[in-house]
């Protein structure tokens, strides 16, 4: 009897990450989950103690990769790695210290995990890396410039990873998840949101995108229409908003 597949979800304590872990557990997978709030990871583990392995983890810490390797030594090798950690901080006064917090998680932390995952799957002969970007990756935004820029960085970096895997003739799949508004602790205080998806619905669509090895997936699907509109908006009009 073959062992169930394993998904490593980095940033699984709430919102999309937690809901995605639940969805994969229901599908019979093993889940290796990380996050900063250990009590929420324990809550996840109580759902299926025999198939959930957890570690408290900070993507900005010096031992970030050592924690991931220790976790996979316990859970078994990962078939899919998901980078769901993210920070979205408003920065109306353009304060560097605020932007640095965003960059440390969304750019530096992401790249460290992404390069590690690439080498990990190259040694194993293939796998899949999933990065949670955003609809915000498509244009700049005055309320949180670093957030928009960091999400664009994630999307472009993953495109480069995809090209590199093709060049190396490696069966390595890269999926760029671009959510619109999803009900999570990070978005619950935002005003003016529309088409807000519950996290479990978002998780189901993300799972489907991972299964079909999609290059890019908008969550929920209707946000592909917004993405098209964003691309068509004239630059001058957008910058006046």
Residue (of 179, 169, 162) closest to 215 by Cα position: 162
Tell me whether residue 218 is one of the annotated catalytic residues: no
Q: Where are the alpha helices (DSSP H) in the chain?
A: 15-26, 38-45, 64-75, 96-103, 110-124, 145-167, 199-211, 223-232, 235-239
DSSP code for 57: -
Helix (H) or strand (E) holding 82: strand 80-83
Q: Please tell me which residue in 118, 120, 147, 157 is annotated as part of the active site.
A: 147
Alpha carbons 219 and 214: distance in angstroms, whole number: 12
Residues marked active site are found at: 147
């Amino acid at each position: 009897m073959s062992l169930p597949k394993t998904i490593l979800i980095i940033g699984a304590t709430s919102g999309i990450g937690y809901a995605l872990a639940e969805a994969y557990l229901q599908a019979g997978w093993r889940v290796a989950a990380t996050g900063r709030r250990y009590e929420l990871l324990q809550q996840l583990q109580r759902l299926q103690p025999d198939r959930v392995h957890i570690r408290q983890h900070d993507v900005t810490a010096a031992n970030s990769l050592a924690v991931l390797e220790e976790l996979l030594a316990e859970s078994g090798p990962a078939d899919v790695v998901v980078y769901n950690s993210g920070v979205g901080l408003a920065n109306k006064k353009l304060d560097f210290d605020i932007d640095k917090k965003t960059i440390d998680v969304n750019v530096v932390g992401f790249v460290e995990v992404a390069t590690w995952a690439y080498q990990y799957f190259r040694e194993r002969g293939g796998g899949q890396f999933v990065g949670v970007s955003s609809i915000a990756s498509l244009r700049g935004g005055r309320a949180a410039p670093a957030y928009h820029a960091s999400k664009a960085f994630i999307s472009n970096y993953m495109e480069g990873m995809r090209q590199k895997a093709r060049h190396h003739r490696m069966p390595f799949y890269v999926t760029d998840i671009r959510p619109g508004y999803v009900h999570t602790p990070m978005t619950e205080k935002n005003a003016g949101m529309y088409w807000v998806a519950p996290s479990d619905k978002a998780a189901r669509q993300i799972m489907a995108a991972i299964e079909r090895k999609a290059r890019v997936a908008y969550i929920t699907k209707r946000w592909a229409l917004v993405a098209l509109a964003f691309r068509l908006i004239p630059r001058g009009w957008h910058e006046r908003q």
